[in-house]
């Protein structure tokens, strides 16, 4: 419990530091959002009133406190380009990115668990060598390139799945595979090494000794112990994908956080960039925190540290 409280305080401090970092990096540097909206030929009087409207004539610290106050009420301010609430824009895009990330990690686990287990059981086999080569290859392939090839094969040539855009869950299949393949490569190695580790423990010998079926030893004893490692690794991939779906979203034209962020960055819609970066970072931290707690609940051994 003390550990959880300690972690919680750390989370709040980090969240505060992140909001400060995002805010000040965007606001202290030169550049005038009001000028950006109206253009350099804008009417000076309009410029002044817009500055007042955006709160730009106040000192930067006051603006930070105001922004922080808004944040706590779920108000992220207004986008410069779209003139709508940032929270609404993010709310629309978040489910797309989130489901893509979860789907990709799920697929990666589905591929890597059976593959990793068979590698661990049949050490030194052709299958193991082959999977080790394939995992090295999988880790080196850029996910977005994989996406381009998948579109070409499954959408254009075979016409099985939609090439781009977001119409139904089917639109998420190809992008999820493109994201899942490199992740599955890494996870297969994790599954393999944790299973090899688990299988070399004394309790496995005991289980074999008391005449337990091979299958039961493998799945009840070894996999259960290896699962903590696998779970932790999958969690790391999930958090990485929370901010990492953006290139794939661009490849497949998915209306997720990534597309919002890329457009906002290129159009220098600073309040929107600020909000998006903050939400993504906060999401990563919170999911991370949740995963830590879940691990703690799953593995009693961790509670003694």
Which chain residues interact with another protein by CB under 8 A?
A: 10, 13-14, 17-18, 21-22, 25-26, 29, 31, 136-137, 139-142, 144-145, 148-149, 151-152, 156-157, 240, 243-244, 246-247, 250-251, 261-262, 264-266, 268-270, 273, 277, 280-282, 284-285
Output the smallest distance, CB 219 to another protein, in A. 30
Q: Which is nearer to another protein, 204 or 255 (CB)?
A: 255
Q: Supply the minimum distance, in Å, between the C-beta of residue 9 and another protein.
A: 12
Q: For 256, left (φ over 0), alpha (ψ -120 to 50), or beta?
A: beta
The answer to whether 185 and 138 have CB atoms below 8 angstroms apart is yes
Cα distances from 212 to residues 22, 82, 121, 167, 207, in angstroms, run 57, 65, 16, 50, 6
In whole angstroms, the minimum distance from the beta carbon of 257 to another protein comes to: 10
* Residue among 36 and 38 whose Cβ is closer to another protein: 36
Comparing CB distances to another protein, the nearer of 136 and 169 is 136
Decide whether 14 or 58 has the Cβ nearer to another protein: 14
Least distance CB 238 / another protein (angstroms): 12
On whether the CB atoms of residues 73 and 86 are closer than 8 A, the answer is no
DSSP string, 68-118: HHHHHTT---B-TTT-SBHHHHHHHHHHHHHHHHHHHHHHHHHHHHHHHHH
Residue with tokens 């393949």: 181
Q: Which of 51, 81 has the CB closer to another protein?
A: 81
Find the shortest distance in angstroms from Cβ 152 to another protein.
5
Looking at the Cβ atoms of 114 and 165, the one nearer to another protein is: 165
Angle at 277 (CA atoms; ends 274, 280), nearest 5 degrees: 145
Q: How far is the CB of 240 from another protein (least distance, A)?
A: 6
Select from 39, 185, 36, 55 the least CA-distant residue to 109: 185
């Amino acid at each position: 419990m003390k550990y959880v409280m300690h972690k919680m305080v750390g989370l709040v401090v980090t969240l505060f530091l992140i909001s400060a970092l995002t805010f000040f990096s965007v606001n202290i540097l030169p550049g005038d959002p009001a000028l950006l909206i109206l253009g350099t030929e804008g009417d000076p009087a309009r410029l002044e009133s817009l500055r007042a409207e955006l709160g730009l004539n106040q000192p930067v610290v006051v603006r930070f406190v105001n922004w922080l106050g808004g944040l706590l009420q779920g108000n992220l301010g207004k986008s410069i380009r779209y003139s709508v609430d940032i929270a609404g824009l993010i709310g629309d895009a978040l489910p797309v990115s989130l489901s893509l990330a979860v789907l990709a990690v799920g697929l990666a686990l589905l591929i890597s668990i059976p593959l990793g287990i068979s590698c661990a059981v049949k050490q030194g086999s052709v299958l193991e060598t082959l999977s080790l080569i394939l995992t090295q290859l999988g880790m080196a392939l850029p996910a977005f390139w994989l996406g381009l090839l998948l579109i070409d094969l499954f959408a254009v040539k075979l016409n099985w799945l939609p090439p781009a855009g977001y119409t139904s869950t089917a639109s998420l299949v190809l992008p999820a595979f493109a994201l899942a393949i490199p992740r599955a490569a890494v996870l297969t190695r994790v599954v393999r090494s944790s299973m090899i580790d688990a299988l070399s423990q004394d309790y496995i010998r005991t289980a074999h000794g008391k005449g337990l079926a091979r299958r039961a030893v493998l799945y009840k004893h070894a996999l259960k112990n290896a699962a903590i490692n696998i779970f932790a690794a999958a969690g790391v991939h999930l958090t990485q994908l929370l901010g990492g779906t953006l290139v794939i979203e661009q490849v497949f034209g998915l209306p997720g956080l990534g597309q919002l962020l890329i457009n906002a960055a290129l159009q220098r819609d600073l309040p929107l960039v600020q909000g998006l970066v903050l939400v993504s970072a906060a999401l990563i931290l919170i999911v991370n925190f949740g995963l830590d707690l879940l691990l703690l609940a799953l593995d009693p051994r961790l509670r003694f540290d």
